[in-house]
Structures are given as C-alpha cells and as structure tokens.
Amino acid sequence: MHLVRVVLAVMALAVPTWTTPPPAAFGHNGTDFLLRGKPFVIIGGQMDPHRVPFDYWRRRIILAKALGINTIFSSIFWNEMEPEKGKWASKQPANNLTHFLDIAKEQGLYVVLQPGPYVGGAREWGGLPYWLSRIPGLKVRSYNEPFLNATKSYFTRLAKDLAPWQITKGGNVIMVQIENEYGSYGADVRYKEALRNMAASLFDVPLYTADGRDKLLLEDGQTSRVLSVVKGGPQGFPLRDEAVTDKSSLGPHLDGEAHISKPLQWGPEAKHYAMDTDQPSFVESYIRNLGMTLSANNSINMYMFHGGTNFGLSAGSLYTGNRTTPWANSYHGESLLDEAGRTTPLYHIIRAEILKYLPDASAIPPPPNNLPLLQINEFKLEPYASILHTVTYTKTRKMPVYMETLKQGQGLILYEHKVLAAANGTLEAGDRPRDRIIVYVNGLRKGIIDSFHACPATVKLSLQAGDILQLLVENAGRTSHWRKGSREPNLMDDPFKGINGSVTVGSSVLRGWKIRQIPCKEPPILKKPIGGSIQKGILPVYYKGRFKLPHLGPGEFYAGMDTYLTIEGGTRGIVWVNGFNLGRYWVSGPQQSLYVPGALLNPGHSNKIHVLELTPWNMTLTARGETTKTWENRPDPEAPQS
C-alpha cells in the first residue's frame, strides 16, 4: 500500500501543469496591434535622428510626447552610418542611435525603425552610400549578390547596436520596416524575400512593408509573412485588403505616411505653403482623416512630425522631365514642429484632435514653451581665396573620370586641361551634365551647362594652344526616387557624378587632364583676404566673416540661440558655421535662409562663417541672423537665355 502511494505521488509530479504562455511583447492579429496581449493603437509621428542636431533630440522627443503620440517612426540612413565601406560611424554623436532610443524610452515612447536599405526621403541616393557604385556588378534594390552581401553586412552591424533595444529584450523598438515603397520601383520577389529573411534573422519584432495608395503598388510591394501597410489615409485601408491576397501579409491597418506637409526643392518654380494658413481645406481634410483613423482604432504615422534639416550635402534630387531638381536643405519645414523645433499653430490643432481619442488625455503633459530665436546684426564676409588655393587632392588622367572612381562621394571636382592645339566648336563633356558644369578658359567663366533646366545651355569655345580649359562639376545630389514605368532613365542605377570619358570641342578630342578633388566636408584654412576687386566670371571664391555673441548666464547653454542665416550678394554656394557644413544656398529659392542650431554657436566668443560662392561677382557679401525663416522665389540668374 505504501508503494502504491509513492508511485501515485511520483505520477502526480510528472503530470505537466498546463498554463497560458505569456503574451508576446508586441505583435498583431487580424485586426489589432497587440502590446503584451492587449489591443494597441499606434499614434505615431515621423522624426529622423539624422535630420535633427543630437543636442536637441531630448527636447524634440519631449514635444512628441506632449502632442499625445506614443510612437516615433525613424528612418536610418545607411550612408550616414557607413559613409565609407567598412567604416562604421556609430560612435559619432549624430549617429548614436542607441542614445536616441534611450531618450524615447525615458519619455515612455516606442520607436519604429526604418533602416532601408533604401529609404528615399529626399536623401542623397535614397540613403544608399555612394561607395556601392564602386562595387563591380552591383545593382541596387534587386536580387543581386553584391548588393545583398553589402546589405547583409549593413543590417548585421546595425542590429548589433539596435537589436538589444527591441521590446522583446526590454527596450522600446516595436517594429522594423524593410525597404520603402518598393512597389513603386519594382516587383522582384526574390529581393523582397531576401530582405525579409535577413531582417527576420536579426530582429525579433514584427516586420512590415509600406507602399503607396495604389492596388498595383501594394501588390508588388508586399512580401509574404510581412505585414503590408498602405500610405495615404484611411481610404487606402480597404484597398490594401483588396490588393494583398496573401493572408500572411494582412493584419491591422496603419497609415504608414499620413503627409501633413510637403518637401521642397530648389528652383524658382517651387512653391512654399504654410499648411495651417495657406491651405485651410487641406488641414480640414487632414483632421477628418485623423479622426476617421483613430475612431476606428486604426493606427497612423504623421509625416512629418518634425522634418528637420538635410544638413551639409546630404539632400538628394529628383530627375524628372529631363532635368534635375535638387531637394532643399529644409525638409518638410512646415511640419508640426518647425525647423527650429518650435511648435506651430498646426501642432496645437492636431494635439487637440489626438487628445479626443486618448482615455487618459489628462496625463499628457503640456508642451514646453517655445524658445526665442536669435537676431544677429548684419556683418560682412570678405573674399579670402580662390578655390584653386584650397585643393588638397590632385590626380592626373588621360581622360576625365567620375568622382566615385576617385573615392569621392560629395562636393565638387575640377578637371583641368592645357590645350595643345587650336580647337573650335561646341563643348561636349560626357553623356549629360552630372549635375552642373561651369566652364572656364584661362580662369574666366565661359558658360554653364547644367541639368537644372529641361534644355541645358550649350557652350561654344575657341581655344588656342596654351589655353587652360577648366570644367568645375558640382554634385547637386544623387537621385532619391525613381518610379517604375517612368520614361526617365533609372538614375538609381546610374548615380555617377562628374565627367567620364571623352571631352570634345568641335571635332577635337582633348586628352591629358589634371583632376582636383574638392569634397567640401570642411572649410579650408584661410589666412589672408584677397585685395583689389572681384572680377565677374572668375573661379569660385571662399569668403569669411566673424560675429561675436554675448555670454550666456549659468545654465542657459544654447537656449534661445537658434537663428536663420541669410546670405546677401551671392548666387549659389555652400555655407559653414564654426566648421559645420550647414548646406547649400541658392538665390533662386524658395528657401532664402539656412537654419543654424544654437548648439553650433559659441556664446561670448568669436564665431566663424565660411562661404564658398560658386559664381562670385561681389567684393563683399553680407550675412545676418534672423528670427524667422525667409521664403521667396526669384528668377534663376543662371538660367539659359532663350
């Protein structure tokens, strides 16, 4: 009897206890996103860390929380994280994405990562690094072994930094988007599945794809076992369900990009709109769509919550109608936070609408007051040196070669040829302008051939033996978008800049070139001003000026020191403040002032401004800091004359 009791006791211990497994940290079913097993509505806003000075991440995230959103969507640009092959740059403060995630977590916000590899977003080559073009046989955004190998290396290195921040590991990253609007580009199933498999092996959270509000785009963009998301308002939700027949890609609805503002491009035709005042009907429609989405417990990503700035030469371009239109420095400048991170009237309108749908709206903190902006009185910029005096990289070649061949990604490149025999006729340099060729003979400008106009100008030359022909080529940004079915050439596959191959004048082929590289990452050391006068038509000139700011009180740091810098007397060029490349300016507009974060400035000390004016004509330029951004369209003074 005792033995029977022992056996029964042992059997009882061996019987498993059936319990319900804990819910996944984040996931989704057929209708809802699920946060620890409970329905969760994503109320999100787009803010890309690389477009915001890292010193300001905390304040911008605090303002996101005060808006009532619970999730930040963030694009990650491969060309910022790995600007040169194998040189990972996450230790740079601006690339310290774990710090960005940490701040968001402190504020109780979740994050959706968009690592690409292609992200678009008006960035240079859609965020792809220029050095991919140097890999033999590589074809971007396709089932191409060299591209997939490079992408796998990028994803793996990125995941090493960011995977520990997934919600499955106690962090706040809840989803990862793969590619971006791929249905607008192609329909390569093997490529999409390869990206899915890569991402799924590195991240534990749900993956999703995002495509435009079109049945064909959704069909071609979706990937099996990856949630399909539509962009462009709740009207796209039933379209997604109709277009995507693979049940493994169906699930809750998310408006992947609910556009509340517009990106701008350089050029006199571009129009700037303040959404809250210039387009009231748009705002009414947006509020209506926001209400329709949230009242149905669907999710949304407001694009952009804060657009920020394409600092330096990081903006890309579009190639449409046989012409290049570069994106402006200011990205979605009229979003809910302006470029200086200040709340706009639109912010408060949208906030009031969001709070209607929050059960605990009283717990949402009010936004902090806007910081004042800085006024800097006008000061002079004097000419210091010709661009020739600042070149540090020089090569010689029989024929010109692209920037990429010389391991140069951005900036300018100067091709110089000493004429051996007389030549007359039209100048032909490569297959097309990439993107702007300023032509000089013996140091004086003879014309400009650019891709900014549908019908580029032609330049006719009469060269004599001993003349020096110089072709200065500006990279105005690799194309960031291409649509399948477009009649335009696919410049995603042709990102090369500069000149490659034959240069002819009439029937003469010019051989023997000195090539000077000018990456424009940092301003040169300029010691002595140029005396005399500036002759119109000379090679580009560096200008320099200084201004001093008062000391700040204890604890004030750079609060209230942001400003908008305006350059007068120039045409087109590049601006640095205290060695930091702010970006391009162009008198044609529509952007007439550049955002200067106060974090760049030195209170109580001298602050330096350098300007590289590409077509100088003034002995003195002037600069000033303003408290409002200036928008104005002006005629392009360098447009071809009809």
List, as own/partner pairs, every contact residues 239-246 make where C-beta atoms lie below 8 angstroms and the sequence separation is at least 24, other chains included: 239/213, 239/214, 239/215, 242/215, 243/215, 243/216, 243/218, 243/219, 244/218, 244/219, 246/222
- Residue for token digits 């329909």? 187
Q: Is 379 exposed, middle or buried (0-12, 13-18, 19+ CB in 10 A)?
A: middle
User: Is residue 82 annotated as a catalytic residue, yes or no?
Assistant: no
Quickly count: other Cβ atoms within 10 Å of residue 507's Cβ.
Answer: 8
Number of residues written out for the chain: 642
> Which stretches does DSSP call E strand in 182-262?
207-211, 227-230, 254-259
State whether residue 543 is helix, strand or coil.
Answer: strand
As a three-state string, the secondary structure of 273-315 is CCHHHHCHHHHHHHHHHHHHHHHCCCEEEEECCECCECCCCCE
Pairing of strands 376-386, 423-429: unpaired
Q: Which two tokens stand for residue 194?
A: 């390869």
* Distance in angstroms (rounded) separating the CA atoms of residues 93 and 285: 39
Q: Which of 82, 179, 181, 416 is catalytic?
A: 181
Alpha carbon of 33 to those of 110, 225, 300: distances in Å? 13, 15, 12
* Distance in angstroms (rounded) separating the CA atoms of residues 39 and 34: 5
Q: Is 296 exposed, middle or buried (0-12, 13-18, 19+ CB in 10 A)?
A: exposed
User: Is residue 181 annotated as a catalytic residue, yes or no?
Assistant: yes
Q: Which of 257, 334, 404, 474 is catalytic?
A: 257
Consecutive H or E run containing 46: strand 43-46
The catalytic site residues sit at: 181, 257
